[in-house]
Homo-oligomer: A and B are copies of this chain.
Amino acid sequence: MLIEVAGTGSVVWLEGLPGSGKTTLARQLADALGAAHRPVEVLDGDEVRRGLSPEIGFSREDRDRHARRVGYVANLLSRHGVTVIVALITPYESSRQAVRDLLGPRLLEVWLECPVDVCRARDPKGLYRKAQEGKLQQMTGVDDPFEIPTRPELVIHTGSRTVPQCLDLLREALDRRDSSSLPQGPG
């Protein structure tokens, strides 16, 4: 079959606390792009951990290693015209910088900024409750740090916006990115 592909795809990297909306927005953005017949792949934290890093934990070293690994995979896919949506806490600036070094202008780093109280109230996976009960350690936002991103292309305040509003912001940023800085094919 014939489909239209760009020379390379963007990598939309959604970072933020557990409960900040990464998975929700990743899926909705993927659905929207898929409906427009754009090749798209979601690399979501938990899922991709099972396939790519089943053996590692949540230490600083392990998280950093995993983030770089996800960046490596995102790079391979994007080289073949796939728009990649990453949903990963990515709590450390060193990981973000490594990914930026690898992906260059293809990276669209998006910080889903959301107060931890709001994330805790949402608690879609029950992680905050588990951490509260002492059943979970090394939980970002509770007893593990989330370093404030210094160079995101976009910050979305997911605590005070609706999902459709957040999605619009994401799509606008992605459209701007795709129409400006990516190498284009001949037609």
Contact = CB atoms under 8 A, between A and B. Distances in A.
Interface of A: 1-7, 39, 41, 51-52, 55, 65, 69, 72-73, 76-77, 79-82, 185-187
A41 B80 contact: yes
Contact of A3 (B5, B41, B73, B82): B5
A80 B1 contact: no
A90 B186 CA distance: 40
Contact of A76 (B73, B79, B185): B73
A37 B125 CA distance: 44
B187 A1 contact: yes
B2 A39 contact: no
Contacts of A80: 39, 41, 77, 80-82
Contact of A77 (B6, B77, B186): B77
Given A1-B4, A55-B65, 5 more contacts: A2-B3, A51-B72, A52-B73, A76-B76, A80-B80
16 contacts: A1-B6, A1-B7, A1-B186, A1-B187, A2-B2, A2-B3, A3-B5, A39-B81, A41-B79, A51-B69, A73-B76, A76-B76, A77-B80, A80-B80, A80-B81, A80-B82
A2 B4 contact: yes
Nearest to A82: B80
Given A4-B2, A77-B76, A69 B41 contact: no
A44 to B, nearest CB: 12
A52 B72 contact: yes
* Across the A-B interface, the 3 shortest Cβ-Cβ residue pairs: A1-B185, A51-B72, A1-B187
A4 B76 CA distance: 19
A80 B3 CA distance: 11
